Amino acid sequence: MAEKARQHYLFVTYPIQSHINPTLHLAKHLASSTSAAVTFSTAVSAHRRMVSSFPNADQEFNNGLITYLPYSDGNDEGFKRDNMDLKEHISDFRKNGQRNVSTIVGDLAAAGRPVTCIVYTLLLNWVPDVAGEHGIPSVLYWIQPATVFAIYYHFFHGFESIVRAHADEPSFTVCFPELQPLQIRDLPSYVNVPVNDTDSFNATILNSFRELFEILDREQETRVKPRVLMYTFEAWETEALASVSDIEIIPVGQWPNNTGYLFKEDEKKYMEWLDTKVEGSVVYISFGSLSVMKKEQKEEMVRGLKESKRPFLWVVRKDNREEGDGVVEIEEGGDDGMVVEWCDQVRVLAHSAVGCFVTHCGWNSTLESLVCGVPMVAVPQWSDQCTNAKLVESLWGCGVRSEVDGEGVLQGEELVRCLELVIVEGEKGVEIMNKAKNWRDKALEAVSEGGSSDVNLKAFVDDKFH
């Protein structure tokens, strides 16, 4: 009987690295810190890459902590950007994902392992329907900052007209409740979609967010307040967490670790290479798992790195290499730098030799840099990255946002300027470093026993909501 009463959380996430990482962090932590059973489910295409070293990679398996059980989204070989329409892909994903996740929930119940709560992430607005079909609760896990959540909330609740009216004025300032003043350039890129644009990638994603907040609005009809788990730390975003009073936001930020990478780690001995470098001297560069750095940007990066004369470790994925981009030249030697196709980013950022992170400011990278106390040079491109860069520079003071040219390219001399600000032991550099360490300490406090993240997660699990 005790086993039947055991809580069982099913985590469902979209099959890309930036969604899998934080979801797996939380799933692992929940499984290790509570008595709950945890099943992690992403689409077959990503699941295969995560567990490629195991036999029968498409099947369920348990690693002693959590169970991995994939669902088919109808594209088991993965989404091919070049030959598939995005709207068609999302429609097929919804239809197949909803049917197959529902089957998983039914099969688990039939096997005596009933799911008691489904935790889902972005782009999966159909999951609450699956939960409702089976009579179990669901909860959103927001894997971006609380500030971005608050911006979207207010955008869809009274601020859409003013943002749209000034969409072509990057420096126009918007004052959302409780948040620091934000310019249009600081907002998530999707809110700047023109009204008459209904078919583009950006419009499709904005519509997905709109639907998500409509789901949360409907939940208020059945609960006093909808609940949202959030991948941030209470001490990092106090004002943003207070900005949305209609929703109970539960910050459960976790200490990041090596999770289910979809990319093969480079065999180069980059950690040993870091061991040979002076403390705080290395510039680490990575633009994440999705961003594609164009040839001109790579050339400017090479130019800036050479001019800065600092040792560097640069991640350039296999799918982002091309002839004459300067990357091969670095790989062949002659400069005090190393290029890798992929690496264990948390281990790199935690290494004492790393003094600065040049980043696209995706939330995973931003959070990992913050918890490791590493200053940042922000080079945001799209989605939440511009907001994250604003937080890095203005709210947390642990880095600088670079300026790009009209083509969105970070010029070599601008890279040098930014590196001089954050990595040199002048007044500004020391201030940035001290603040970076301060935010790291607050994260450490939150995840320790009795800290805010620890208490919040345990309270959520113990609540009668389930």
- Lowest average pLDDT, out of 91-95, 239-243, 422-426, 457-461, goes to 422-426
Q: What is the pLDDT of residues 113-151, one digit of tens each?
A: 999 999 999 999 999 999 999 999 999 999 999 999 999
Write down the mean pLDDT value for the chain.
Answer: 89
What pLDDT does residue 26 have? 95
- For residue 38, the one-letter residue type is V
CA distance 133 to 142: 23
CA distance 20 to 42: 8
What pLDDT does residue 334 have? 52
What pLDDT does residue 466 have? 45
Mean pLDDT value of segment 51-74? 82
224: three-class secondary structure by DSSP: coil
What pLDDT does residue 319 have? 67
Residue 329 pLDDT greater than 70, yes or no = no
Residue 94 pLDDT greater than 60, yes or no = yes
Give the list of residues 6+ apart from residue 211 with CB closer than 8 angstroms, or none: 125
Q: What is the pLDDT of residues 387-426, one digit of tens each?
A: 999 999 999 999 999 999 988 899 999 999 999 999 877 7
Please name every residue paired with 8 in a beta bridge, in sequence order, or none if there are none. Answer: 37
Domains 8-146+199-258+445-462 and 270-444 share a fold: yes
Report H helices in 182-313: 201-219, 238-243, 270-275, 295-308
What pLDDT does residue 326 have? 58
* Residue 225, both tokens: 């307040």
Between 195 and 261, residue with greater pLDDT: 195
* Residue 148, both tokens: 């971005």
CA distance 386 to 388: 5
Burial of 33 (0-12, 13-18, 19+ CB in 10 A): middle
**Do residues 349 and 368 touch, judged by C-beta distance below 8 A?**
yes
Predicted confidence band of residue 323 (pLDDT cuts 50, 70, 90): low
CA distance 453 to 445: 9
Q: Catalytic: which of 19, 29, 47, 154?
A: 19
Q: Report CA 129 to chain centroid distance, whole Å.
A: 25
CATH, domain range 8-146+199-258+445-462 = 3.40.50.2000
Residue 110 CB-half CA count within 13 A: 6
Residue 355 pLDDT greater than 50, yes or no = yes
Predicted confidence band of residue 209 (pLDDT cuts 50, 70, 90): very high
Identify whether 466 is a catalytic site residue.
Answer: no
Q: Which CATH number fits domain 270-444: 3.40.50.2000, 3.30.410.10, 2.170.150.70, 3.30.465.10?
A: 3.40.50.2000
CA distance 96 to 115: 20
Mean pLDDT value of segment 176-191? 96
What pLDDT does residue 138 have? 96
What are the structural domain ranges in the chain? 8-146+199-258+445-462, 270-444
